Amino acid sequence: KPFPIRLQGPVIRGFGRGSKELGIPTANIPPEGLSSYPDLQSGVYYGWVGLSFHHSPDTSSSATEIYPAVLSIGYNPFYKNDTRSVEIHVLHQFTHDFYGAALNLLMLGFIRPEYDYVSLDALVEDIRVDCDVARRSLERPGYEKLKAEEWLRDFG
Ligand code: ADP
Ligand code: MG
């Protein structure tokens, strides 16, 4: 079993392909960590995310929060062949963007492969279902307890 899979990195800019306009912004992290998992299938996954926000640029004060998340791992048509992207939709309503925040991702399960969609409505409907699956899976005791994993709060 490949899980749990641990990926981490700062939240970087993606291609701004309109996911925010659809109500599903995705925090991108650098894909380098994926090289440790060359056999990992592309698709939609769920897991816990630890985020470390920096409150103020001139102090070292920061806050850490743990959230449920749904994410996709896939080949980005903008990249050449072997680079995949990691795009994480955090299941929380934020009031601000958090580019640059430190992110730890504890991936716990696979939801589905990625499909080619003929309509935007079909895509958005599937993503809604993915979010429900992620929430309900993470509520199960075995997964809920992993929210306390120290690694999620360890930003080195
Ligand atoms: P980009 O192409 O730069 O990734 P997106 O449209 O995907 O742009 O928006 C992602 C950004 O939105 C994240 O980097 C983060 O700063 C912000 N954001 C706000 N709410 C969320 C959320 N619930 N999940 C993920 N990112 C969010
Ligand atoms: Mg994104």
Domain boundaries of the chain, sorted by first residue: 5-143
Tell the residue nearest (CA) to atom 19 of ligand 1. Answer: 97
> What is the structure's pLDDT at 16?
72
Q: Poorest-confidence range of 15-24, 31-40, 48-57?
A: 15-24
Q: What is the ipTM for the molecules in this complex?
A: 0.99
> What pLDDT, in 10s, does the model give residues 120-151?
888 889 999 999 999 999 999 999 999 999 99
Q: Is the pLDDT of residue 38 over 60?
A: yes
SS3 letters across the chain: CCCCEEEEEECECCCCCCCCCCCCCCEEECHHHHHHCCCCCCEEEEEEEEEEEECCCCCCCEEEEEEEEEEEEEECCCCCCCCEEEEEEECCCCCCCCCCCEEEEEEEEEEECCCCCCCHHHHHHHHHHHHHHHHHHHHCHHHHHHHHCHHHHCCC
Tell the residue nearest (CA) to atom 9 of ligand 1. Answer: 25
Higher pLDDT, 11 or 77: 11
> What is the structure's pLDDT at 84?
83
Mutate to test the pocket of ligand 1, among 26, 29, 46, 85 (most ligand atoms within 8 A of CB): 26
**Annotated catalytic residue 87:** yes
For the chain, the average pLDDT equals 89
Identify the CATH class of 5-143: mainly beta
> What is the structure's pLDDT at 79?
47
pLDDT grade, residue 44 (50/70/90)?
Answer: very high
